Each structure stands twice: as C-alpha cells, then as structure tokens.
Structure 1
Amino acid sequence: MPLSPKLQQILDKTYEPAQRFDKQYSGKDITYMTNEYGEPVTLFIGRRRDDGSIAGERYVRRIVRKPGSHDILKSHWENKGKVSR
C-alpha cells in the first residue's frame, strides 16, 4: 500500500538527527526514525502496544543523493511487510 500524500508531507520534513518520533496519524499510531541528517528513514504504521512497539506495517526509505553533496536527488518508501512482534 503506498503512503498517502498527507503522510508523505510529514515524512518529507527534516527533524532532529538520529531520533525516534511517536505520533498519531489518521486514527493510527506511527513511529518514524531519522538518520544522521534528520530525514525520516524508517516508518511503522499500525496499533501501538503497551511496550511502545507497533504491530502493523514497516516501511524503509531509500535515498539517492546528488554526487558530492547531502542534497536528495530522489527517494522512495518501500513496504517491507507486516510487523507483529
């Protein structure tokens, strides 16, 4: 399932580097983690459990940078499947 445009807008922003963010989006729990540049690179969508983990879907962002810089040339989110543990 592709990500919705509104969720994509949230994930296109830059945040604190190497952090975890827990939020609610459209009635579901989301958690995303950022890389050393503050770009979200891992996303979990589903229902949050008591221990803080999420049972649902996991997505990973693939980023291609411009040669010799940190600017993003292109990126996309890949669905890596269900997370139930």
Structure 2
Amino acid sequence: MSLKEPILKILIKQYAPLTMVEQKFGRYDLMFKTDDEGRPIMLFLGKKDSNGNIIGDRYARRLKIDDRGNTVKDHWEHKGKAT
C-alpha cells in the first residue's frame, strides 16, 4: 500500500523535533516519529489497540540532503506490518 496525497500532506509539515506525534486520519490512527529538525521519518498507520500500539503498516522515510541543504531524495518506503 503506497501513501496517498492526503496523508503525504500531513507528513510534509514540520513538527516538534524528536517526538512521537499521534493523529486521527479518517478511520485510521497515525503515529509518526520526527527527526531533530521536526520532519516525520517513521510512520505507523492503522488502528490503535488497547495498549496504545498501532496495528497496521509501518513506513520509513528515505531522505537524502546534500551539503547545501537541498533535498536530493525524499520518499516513503513500506517496511511491512506494524504490531
């Protein structure tokens, strides 16, 4: 399952650095981890269970930035099931 435009709009924004952010998106629960600049780098997408864990899919962001700060590569990879 690849990420669609409405979810990518959420993941383009800047958030608080080095935090886990939880959001509701339609019928899904989103939980993502941010890097030291506040960019989402790991995403869990699915339904939250009673322990607060997301049961669904896990994605990781492939982000490469050159020496000048320009983005060279930026895409999300499906890493499998999240339990």
Instruction: Note the residue ranges of structure 1 that are not aligned, 5 or more in a row.
Output: none
Alignment TM-score, normalising by the size of structure 1:
0.90
- Identical-pair percentage: 34
Residue 75 (structure 2) aligns with: 76
CA distance in 1, matches of 2:31, 2:78: 14
Alignment TM-score, normalising by the size of structure 2:
0.92
Deviating above 3 A after TM superposition, structure 1's stretches of 4 or more consecutive aligned residues are none
Within 5 Å, give how 1:4-83 maps onto structure 2: 4-66=4-66, 68-83=67-82
CA distance in 1, matches of 2:68, 2:17: 17
**Number of residue pairs matched by the alignment:** 83
**RMSD over aligned Cα atoms:** 1.1
Instruction: Note the residue ranges of structure 2 that are not aligned, 5 or more in a row.
Output: none
